[in-house]
Structure 1
Amino acid sequence: MIEVKNATLQYTTFKRSQGLKGVMHDFFKRSVIQVEALSDISLTINEGEMIGLIGRNGAGKTTLIKLLTGILPLRQGEIKIDQMLPYQREKVFLKNIGVLLGQRSQLIWDLPAIDTYDMLAAIYELPKQMYNARLTWLSEQLEVTELLYIPVRKLSLGQRVKCELIAALLHRPKYLFLDEPTLGLDFVTQKTIYKILRLENQYHKTTIITTSHYIKDIEQLADKVIILNKGKIIFNDKLEQLPKELTTEILFDIDFLNSKSVEKKLTCAPDKLNEILAKIPAERILRVSQRGMELEELILQFIKGDSI
């Protein structure tokens, strides 16, 4: 279980002055300002949950991930994972977590991925039989078996991300932290990654925490969503629990065949539905479906509402 109580994190940065005169002023005397990255946040994540952590740039998402994984120390408040303090980096704690951060690579650039995996197996003290079986299963599921012996620098972005994911999952972590896991990847690679992560959660009850600006990641990898805004939690619940007043925008999709029997689609507001249907021969109408606001727009409205 992950428990966060009243966590606050501040850091010091420098204020930039405008114009040439400001640049000269900053050269001799820089103004220091305190920025609050996280402000008194509390949350509980139970074992086996799949959490989506979302918010605008600077909302505190990556900072929270770094605190949970022990990369950053917490000086105010408390964070415990299975009663351990992440920043102490205990051996048991490190064996229980897997991390995939978009800007940090576990793979050795000039060596094949298999060399990194052999090293990680030794670090995590994995029995050889378990290591071989785990590596075989992961590489087959991610369709990279033939790539394990190619230097990492020769792999495409999608291939590298798959190999990075194997490194994060190799020791079967209890907690998996993902920061922008599908950034820049093609649709097919994204689907493959979604599949393997859902299997990990299903088979091993792996707790998965994902931060992403890509709403599809959240829809596919989260049963519960935490929305951060300006370092504060403004929503922590299942997606369907977002305020109902945000979902009042209803649209209708009309799928039909045109005069050349080619399938087409029209989208309209409720007050225009009957007017449009009257213009299309009934035998050419394939389906009429109702939908609400897209998830991305819904979350954006929620954040805007909190900022007012």
Structure 2
Amino acid sequence: MIKLDNVSFDYVTFEKNPGLMGSLYDFFKRKNQKKRAIDALNLSIPDGELVGLIGPNGAGKTTLAKLLTGIIEPTEGNIKIDNVDPTLHWKSFYRNIGVMFGQKTQLSWNLPPMDTFNMLSAIYQLNDEDYEKRLNYLLEVLNLKGIIKTPVRKLSLGQRVKCELLCTLIHSPKYLFLDEPTLGLDIGTQKNIYDFLLEENRVNHTTIIFTSHNLRDIEAISNRLLILAQGHIIFDGSLNSLPVDINDQQKFKVKFLDPNNKTVSKEKVLASSELQNEIASVGEQNMISINRQGMTIEDLVLSIYKEWDKANEKN
């Protein structure tokens, strides 16, 4: 169980006066500024949940992830993960979590991934039998057996991401924290990552919390969605319970032959309510392509935030 009770976090910054005299003044009398990144957050996540965490830049997503993993300590409130306070930095706590933060790689650029896997086995003090069994399983399901002796610099982005996932999961953590796990990957590799994470959750009951700017990630993996804005959770629930309909707000990019002069039209972006009328007008035989463009994270957060803001104004 992950539990946050009235958790807040303030970043402390400093005002800088211009010029040499300003620097001398700041040396003796520096003025502090506080910025609240997380504000009185209460949250419970039962074991085994798949949680998607989204929000605009500056919403507090990364700060929340750092709080949950013990990288920073809350200004106020308490956090417990599996009844352990992350700020105590116990070894038992770190054996229970796996963390993959954006471009913060665990792999050594000039060494093969196998060297990193062996190093992590020593760090987590895994016995040889458990390590070999876990490693072989992960290599198999992530399709990495053919590249583990290749220097990391020669691997594709998708291969490196899969190796990062293996590093994060080699010690069979109970809680997994992922930041943009499919960023920059092609659709096929994204699908492989989705299937792998769902299987890891099913087999090992792993709690997975991930941030993403891709609604496809959220739809494919999560059974619970948290939307963070200005340090507050403005939505907590399933995709089905969203107060806006993602499908209704989808756009379609269409290209077709003009039935009058048979030239290829420029691409048009249409709402779902306009699509059928356009097809009827042009004729199905003249349609060249129809590509769905889902609602963006920014549009979704803005819609939810407006509803949340109105509710708070009434209260």
Give the alignment's TM-score, normalised by structure 1.
Answer: 0.82
Please say if residues 226 and 236 of structure 2, whose CA atoms lie closer than 8 Å, have aligned partners that are also in contact: yes
SS, match of residue 190 in structure 1: helix
- How far off its partner does 1:285 sit? 11
Q: Aligned partners of 2:69, 2:155: CA distance in 1, in Å?
A: 28
Is the counterpart of residue 302 in structure 1 residue 304 in structure 2? Answer: yes
Is the counterpart of residue 111 in structure 1 residue 139 in structure 2? Answer: no
Is the counterpart of residue 238 in structure 1 residue 238 in structure 2? Answer: yes
Q: Indicate how the Cα distance of structure 1 residues 216 and 250 shifts in structure 2: closer, same or farther if over 3 A, else same.
A: closer
Match of 2:145 in 1: 145
- How far off its partner does 1:157 sit? 2.6
Q: Percent identity?
A: 44
- Report the residue type matching 1:228 in the other structure: L
- How far off its partner does 1:16 sit? 6.0
Q: Indicate how the Cα distance of structure 1 residues 192 and 26 shifts in structure 2: closer, same or farther if over 3 A, else same.
A: farther
Please say if residues 252 and 293 of structure 2, whose CA atoms lie closer than 8 Å, have aligned partners that are also in contact: no
SS, match of residue 158 in structure 1: helix
List gaps (5 residues or longer) in structure 1. Answer: none
Q: Aligned partners of 2:183, 2:40: CA distance in 1, in Å?
A: 30
Q: Aligned partners of 1:304, 1:202: CA distance in 2, in Å?
A: 36
Match of 1:216 in 2: 216
Q: Aligned partners of 1:248, 1:135: CA distance in 2, in Å?
A: 40
- How far off its partner does 1:88 sit? 1.0
- How far off its partner does 1:38 sit? 0.5
Q: Aligned partners of 1:114, 1:274: CA distance in 2, in Å?
A: 53
- Report the residue type matching 2:305 in the other structure: I
Q: Aligned partners of 1:14, 1:199: CA distance in 2, in Å?
A: 47
Q: Aligned partners of 1:42, 1:48: CA distance in 2, in Å?
A: 19
SS, match of residue 35 in structure 2: strand
- How far off its partner does 1:156 sit? 2.9
Match of 1:178 in 2: 178
Q: Aligned partners of 2:59, 2:192: CA distance in 1, in Å?
A: 29
- Alpha-carbon RMSD: 3.3
Q: Indicate how the Cα distance of structure 1 residues 24 and 294 shifts in structure 2: closer, same or farther if over 3 A, else same.
A: same
Q: Indicate how the Cα distance of structure 1 residues 129 and 233 shifts in structure 2: closer, same or farther if over 3 A, else same.
A: same
Please say if residues 5 and 78 of structure 1, whose CA atoms lie closer than 8 Å, have aligned partners that are also in contact: yes
Please say if residues 110 and 151 of structure 1, whose CA atoms lie closer than 8 Å, have aligned partners that are also in contact: yes
- How far off its partner does 1:295 sit? 6.0
Match of 2:313 in 1: none
Match of 2:136 in 1: 136
For residues 1-308 of structure 1, the aligned pairs below 5 Å read: 1-15=1-15, 22=18, 27-28=23-24, 29=26, 31-244=31-244, 249=248, 267=270, 270=273, 279=281, 294=295, 296=297, 297-306=299-308
- Report the residue type matching 1:9 in the other structure: F
Q: Aligned partners of 1:190, 1:273: CA distance in 2, in Å?
A: 28
List gaps (5 residues or longer) in structure 2. Answer: 311-315
Q: Indicate how the Cα distance of structure 1 residues 269 and 54 shifts in structure 2: closer, same or farther if over 3 A, else same.
A: closer
